[in-house]
Structure 1
Amino acid sequence: MAGSALASKLPPFTLLDEPLLSFSSSDSSQVDVHPLRGLLNYGPYSKGSFGGYTASVRIATVGPDSAFKRRGALMKSLRNVHQPGDRTEYVPPYPGFEALFRVKLEAAPAAAHIKWPDSLGQLPGAGDPQARLFRAMDAALRRLEALRNEFDVVLVHFPDAWLPVTRTQDFDAHDALKALGAKYNIPTQVLNDRVFTFPYKASLAWRLATALYVKAAGTPWKLAPLRGVPEDTAYIGLAYALRGDQRDAHYVTCCSQVFDMDGGGMQFVAFEARDPVADLAEARRNPFLTRDDMRAVLSRSLELYQGRNAGNLPKRLVIHKTTAFKQEEIEGAFDALAGVPDIECVEVSAASCWRGVWLLPTGRSKPLSKAAAYPVPRGTMVVRSGNSALIWVAGNAPGVSNTGNYYQGKKSIPKPLNLVRHAGRGALELMAHEALALTKMDWNNDALYDPVPVSIRYSQRLARTIANVPDLPGNVYPYRLFM
């Protein structure tokens, strides 16, 4: 019995350090594990360059006429100081947009504010409400395109009364708007009615202000160097969408690229796979590409990297996707990346059945331990095999709290990501630490981390948009257009 019990034991766990964020391109001491605290103390990463590019972030608006003043009041509120009312152990005081980002927040000229009728039925044109709304969005962005030098970001307000039309089984106004924004190269910020009544003004201001700054081409933070990560490492995240007739379905592969270890250079590649899907049921369960398609999409991704890096190849390339790599995908990757010395294909699965409980000593002989009041620490890693490991990206993060403990969301027992390396080599701790770090690079919220690395998060976002907007061209897009 003792032998079988020992054989079933997992290896000892490892606690990985919370990755640091950098808030300066010239001062390596301006780092913090907490994104909002770092912004408050040091300002944004691009503070030295963004102010020279523009003295202000200018906001255009689109939405129902009756809420025009409410939209203006919301933008004015971002200039003010707000004290936190929720998550007070994590959220610092919001100091106002200009104090935080070192540029002003201003309304665009009057011509850049488009007022829709309050009723969808009053929108011009024929057809069903979805068709009318789509044409209204297209007309608004086309009109704003002619004023492109007068604004930086467009707020688009979909009132809750329009919800039966804006989100249906066959139409998603949010995704349609993002696709139109990509077409016109206009970043958009969607609003619903909740923002006007949300009681926690500091949290709302942190989220909305950071999103607007990023969509105006600012950089709030980057990743500080991770110990052990080779220079010239690049990351590619793959997500798949099916589109086309069910009898002749094709994948569209979406690459969310975090070109550098510091999180810079994210661009999307929307790639139309050439080979039809042979088994639709298998494709939905475990989507994959043929060798030729994988070679083609990664070759295109590599060209983008070289375009940003004076023609140089990365020395190490890590490819993330949420399902297992088929052998022909691995072969296609190595075909395309023959000039890259170190290639890793890593499956990042959030569908883990594992759970963990953090135990503390009782100081008594029986029982020896007791469950802690907080979950396992974020960054806990357990090796499962020679090529797989569990990493808790959700968990207790006391380093970002002013009270000693912090569990984001405060609900349920967190489950780990299951990382499986299908090709490549190196320490599993490094593979896990990179995944942990990349969960901190979603600039579209005020959270400490996302449930999955940004390489996965944004590729999934574009895949969803493509699935809902089938005529979005296969192209290269700045990721901020889809935030």
Structure 2
Amino acid sequence: MQRHSSDLATCYVGVSFYRTASGQELHTAVAQVFNERGDGVVVRGGTAQISKSDRQPHLALSDARQLLLNALAEYRTKHGHQPARIVIHKSSNFTSGEINGFHEAADLRNIDHVDLLWIQRRGAPHLYRTGQLPPLRGTSAQLDARSLLLYTRGSVPYFHTYPGLYVPQPLLIRSVTPGTDLQTAGTDILALSKMNWNNAQLDERDPLTLRTAYRVGSILKHIPTEARIATRYAYYM
């Protein structure tokens, strides 16, 4: 990822969920991406619960706090210092307990800048472009103060076409943190959608934070809860 000299050192964290092989428990998988380098570290979270109100998986306050503390510990081990900014990409909405838990973890590590982003893969409105090709990759539309529509896949001028098999589906990015710069958030997500080094394709729909979390979860579900896991993402490719 390109960085300006004035940019803060940022830790990007993707939070998604997976069921154990027995299907009895719902756990959290985290794929952590370091700055512009794309080095991934895996952290396994606690047990999540399906909310009766929105039917989405969520963490308790204490589990959310511990999850981010563990992720920051891995970051410090890798870099020798804490980040100045944390960006959390989550596959479900944030509850008040999760918001408070993540902020408590950041406060314990004296990190002031925290962006919490819910990335929706379904239910986003579609945009249309004059002609036969779909919208350009990178097309965005801010729907309101906290919602951004973003095409991470789409037509690419360099190829003079859309290099895909199906109609591209946009992502709906919702911020739960007041003051989040949605254009910066969208730019980061667009860059992270091209950082899967284990892929010959130009881009992917999901940012690397969530893409790796999905894939890691499909492996972690076969590992006993009490067993130690490898933290390097290279082991999960």
Task: Indicate whether the TM-score tops 0.5.
Answer: yes
Separation in structure 1 between the aligned mates of residue 88 and residue 53 of structure 2, nearest angstrom:
20
Equivalent residue for 1:300? 70
Equivalent residue for 1:266? 40
Equivalent residue for 2:166? 411
* Paired residue type of 2:87: V
User: Which structure is richer in relative contact order (CA contacts within 8 A, separation 6 or more)?
Assistant: 2
Separation in structure 1 between the aligned mates of residue 45 and residue 229 of structure 2, nearest angstrom:
7
From the superposition, tell whether residues 228 and 435 of structure 1 become closer, same or farther in structure 2 (CA, over 3 Å): farther
Whether the 8 Å contact between 2:51 and 2:57 is mirrored in structure 1 is no
Equivalent residue for 2:224? 471
Check if 1:422 corresponds to 2:199: no
Counting only pairs closer than 5 Å after superposition, residues 193-208 of structure 1 correspond to structure 2 as none
Whether the 8 Å contact between 2:84 and 2:113 is mirrored in structure 1 is yes
Q: Tell me the matched-pair count.
A: 234
Equivalent residue for 1:243? 20
Check if 1:337 corresponds to 2:115: no
Separation in structure 2 between the aligned mates of residue 408 and residue 342 of structure 1, nearest angstrom:
36
Q: Which runs of 5+ in 2 are unaligned?
A: none
Whether the 8 Å contact between 2:118 and 2:174 is mirrored in structure 1 is yes
Equivalent residue for 2:214? 460
From the CA coordinates, give the structure whose radius of gyration is larger. 1
Identity %: 24
Q: Which runs of 5+ in 1 are unaligned?
A: 1-222, 360-371
C-alpha offsets along residues 216-252 of structure 1, whole Å, 9 cap, x if unaligned?
A: xxxxxxx232x59823011000111233877xx5432
From the superposition, tell whether residues 458 and 384 of structure 1 become closer, same or farther in structure 2 (CA, over 3 Å): same
From the superposition, tell whether residues 444 and 229 of structure 1 become closer, same or farther in structure 2 (CA, over 3 Å): farther
Whether the 8 Å contact between 1:254 and 1:271 is mirrored in structure 2 is yes
Separation in structure 1 between the aligned mates of residue 5 and residue 208 of structure 2, nearest angstrom:
20
TM-score, normalised to structure 2's length?
0.90
**What displacement does 1:423 show?**
1.7
Separation in structure 2 between the aligned mates of residue 270 and residue 421 of structure 1, nearest angstrom:
24
Whether the 8 Å contact between 1:345 and 1:424 is mirrored in structure 2 is no
From the superposition, tell whether residues 378 and 245 of structure 1 become closer, same or farther in structure 2 (CA, over 3 Å): closer
Whether the 8 Å contact between 1:272 and 1:474 is mirrored in structure 2 is no
Runs of 4+ off more than 6 Å: none
C-alpha offsets along residues 243-302 of structure 1, whole Å, 9 cap, x if unaligned?
A: 3877xx543221101121x133311112343xx74xx57499311100000011110101
1 or 2, which has the higher helix percentage? 1
From the superposition, tell whether residues 353 and 231 of structure 1 become closer, same or farther in structure 2 (CA, over 3 Å): closer
Separation in structure 2 between the aligned mates of residue 385 and residue 233 of structure 1, nearest angstrom:
25
Counting only pairs closer than 5 Å after superposition, residues 280-291 of structure 1 correspond to structure 2 as 280=50, 282=52, 285-291=55-61
Q: CA RMSD in A?
A: 2.3
TM-score, normalised to structure 1's length?
0.46
Check if 1:383 corresponds to 2:142: yes
Equivalent residue for 1:347? 118
**What displacement does 1:352 show?**
3.0
**What displacement does 1:465 show?**
1.8
Equivalent residue for 2:198? 444
1 or 2, which has the higher strand percentage? 2
* Paired residue type of 1:471: P
* Paired residue type of 2:94: F
* Paired residue type of 2:85: R
Separation in structure 2 between the aligned mates of residue 419 and residue 244 of structure 1, nearest angstrom:
30
